[in-house]
Chain A
Amino acid sequence: MITKYANPTNFEKLAKILTPVFALFATLLLAFGLCDALLISPPDYQQSDAVRIMYIHVPSAWMAMMIYAACGVAALMFIVWKHTLAELFLRAALPVGAVACALCLATGMLWGKPMWGAWWVWDARLTSVLVMMFLYIAVIALTDAFDRPEQGGLAAAWLTIIGLVNLPVIKYSVEWWNTLHQPSSLTSVKRVMNPAMADDMLRPLLVMGLGLMCYLALVIIIRMRTEIMARKIANTTGVK
């Protein structure tokens, strides 16, 4: 199945179906999620209304990591099978992931100042996410650093794979080290079945997470289709 959709023409067919689906779900989920996050969900008993920053901070963090992981898979496929579509995905998804990562850091700072009393601390979680930010920037820079685009794609793919090491470090940083950043309320081993969060806060968080996922998937698909179109033009006219 993977090889079937690794063909740009088949991808084009699939993308035509997925574009309106993601657009619809993104609109509905984000509209409801925003109302829920800002109006319906209750203020936290300790953090009061500052907790509302969570509904963009945490989904941004999820997406930054998920997009990086997807880029890792695409990078591997590109190196092993030379799938053009994998390279297209890398080029389309990396800047989107970088934006999510930057927002995770920025909203985290805006949350850290009132709650911890500091915009930034060199805590294991914050530092490892900053490393991911630098990885995103370095990989994006590499994609355009060569005269021949294929070479840039290959170099970027290798660095993406090396950077995958950082993902478990981010995930488990809050458990391996004593950090200021709180541990996950949802996915630590003890809490999967029994999340340490009230339902009326969990609901907007998950809705915003899913909504952002559909939204960014939509953006990545549009970017991939543009890139496919650009390469078709380049192939027929012979210039890039």
Chain B
Amino acid sequence: MTDFSTFAAMSGYGMYVWPAYGLALIAYGAVFIHALIKKDRLKKKQQGEK
């Protein structure tokens, strides 16, 4: 447990390091999910027209 808290603390820079990684995860994840949703919607639309 202490191992984990040392890791999470990032020598006191945790409040800068983790938001940086968190933002990257959210933003880069969102572009991928957005691309998939867009593709999926179009496929459904295409099937609806047939």
Q: Which residues of B contact A219 (CB under 8 A)?
A: 31-32, 35
Q: Which residues of A contact B19 (CB under 8 A)?
A: 110
Q: Which residues of B contact A212 (CB under 8 A)?
A: 28
Q: Which residues of B contact A194 (CB under 8 A)?
A: none
Number of A-B contacts defined by CB within 8 Å:
84
The majority secondary structure among interface residues of chain A is helix
Q: Which residues of A contact B49 (CB under 8 A)?
A: 233, 237
Q: Say how far A201's CB is from chain B's closest CB, in angstroms.
A: 15
Is A215's CB within 8 Å of the partner chain B?
yes
Chain B interface category by residue count = 20 to 34
In angstroms, Cα B36 to Cα A170, docked, is 32
Q: Say how far B15's CB is from chain A's closest CB, in angstroms.
A: 9
In angstroms, Cα B12 to Cα A39, docked, is 16
Q: Are B46 and A56 in contact (CB under 8 A)?
A: no
The 0/1 profile, CB within 8 Å of A marked 1, for residues 4-39 of chain B is 000100111110110111011001101110011011
Q: Are A233 and B42 in contact (CB under 8 A)?
A: yes
Q: Are B16 and A99 in contact (CB under 8 A)?
A: no
Which of B35, B42, B46 has the most chain A CB within a 10 Å cutoff?
B35
User: Looking at the complex, which of A100-108, A133-141, A171-179, A183-191 is the stretch in contact with chain B?
Assistant: A100-108
Candidates A43, A95, A107, A113; contact of B23 at CB < 8 Å: A107
Is A181's CB within 8 Å of the partner chain B?
no
In angstroms, Cα B43 to Cα A229, docked, is 8
